Structure 1
Amino acid sequence: MRALSLAPVAVVTLVHLIALVTGADTVAAWSQVLLMPALAVVLLALPPGDRGPAWPWALGALAASWVGDSLPKVVPHDAQFLAMIGGFAAAQVLWIVAFTRVDRGRSPFAWTLLLIVVAVALLAVTVPAAGMLAPAVVVYGLLLLAVAWLASSHGWVGALGGAMFVLSDGLIALGAFRPELVDWSNRDLAVMATYVAAQALFVAVVLLTRSPDRTFGRAPRRGTRAPANP
Structure 2
Amino acid sequence: MRLLSWIPVVVVTLAHLIALVADATTAAAWTQAILMPALAVVLLTVPRDDRGPAWPWALGALAGSWVGDSLPRVMPEGATFLAMVGGFAVAQVLWIVAFTRVERGRPPMAWTLLLVVVAAALLAVTVPSAGMLAPAVVVYGLLLLAVAYLAASHGWVGGLGGALFVLSDGLIALGAFRPELVDWPQRDLVVMATYVAAQALFVAVILLTRSPDRTAGRPPLRRDRPGPVTR
Q: What TM-score do you get using the length of structure 1 for normalisation?
A: 0.92
Which residues in structure 2 correspond to 1:26-175 (within 5 Å)? 26-175=26-175
Look up the equivalent residue of 2:191 and give its one-letter code.
V
How far residue 46 of structure 1 moved from its aligned partner, in angstroms, is: 1.8
Runs of 4+ displaced beyond 4 Å: none
Whole-Å separation in 2 of the counterparts to 1:197 and 1:72: 22
Checking the alignment, whether the CA contact within 8 Å between 1:68 and 1:88 is kept in structure 2 is yes
1:188 is the counterpart of 2:165: no
Look up the equivalent residue of 1:27 and give its one-letter code.
A
Whole-Å separation in 2 of the counterparts to 1:170 and 1:68: 16
Checking the alignment, whether the CA contact within 8 Å between 1:168 and 1:195 is kept in structure 2 is yes
Checking the alignment, whether the CA contact within 8 Å between 1:9 and 1:39 is kept in structure 2 is yes
Whole-Å separation in 2 of the counterparts to 1:132 and 1:122: 17
Which string of whole-angstrom CA distances, capped at 9 and with x for unpartnered residues, describes residues 9-51 of structure 1? Answer: 0110010000000100100011000000000000001212233
CA RMSD of the aligned region, Å?
Answer: 1.7
How far residue 146 of structure 1 moved from its aligned partner, in angstroms, is: 0.2
How far residue 52 of structure 1 moved from its aligned partner, in angstroms, is: 3.9
Distance 1:227 1:173, change over 3 A: farther
Whole-Å separation in 2 of the counterparts to 1:92 and 1:7: 25
Checking the alignment, whether the CA contact within 8 Å between 2:66 and 2:87 is kept in structure 1 is yes
Unmatched segments (≥5 aa) in structure 2: 224-228
Q: What TM-score do you get using the length of structure 2 for normalisation?
A: 0.92
Whole-Å separation in 2 of the counterparts to 1:26 and 1:122: 31
Whole-Å separation in 1 of the counterparts to 2:182 and 2:58: 31
Which string of whole-angstrom CA distances, capped at 9 and with x for unpartnered residues, describes residues 135-174 of structure 1? Answer: 0000000000000000000000000000000000000000
How far residue 211 of structure 1 moved from its aligned partner, in angstroms, is: 4.7
3-state DSSP of counterpart to 1:104? coil
Q: Report how many aligned residue pairs link the two structures.
A: 220
Whole-Å separation in 1 of the counterparts to 2:116 and 2:210: 29
Whole-Å separation in 2 of the counterparts to 1:158 and 1:228: 33
Checking the alignment, whether the CA contact within 8 Å between 2:101 and 2:211 is kept in structure 1 is no
Look up the equivalent residue of 2:4 and give its one-letter code.
L
Checking the alignment, whether the CA contact within 8 Å between 1:53 and 1:210 is kept in structure 2 is no
Taking only the aligned residue pairs, the percentage that are identical comes to 80
Unmatched segments (≥5 aa) in structure 1: 216-225
Distance 1:227 1:177, change over 3 A: farther
Larger radius of gyration: 2
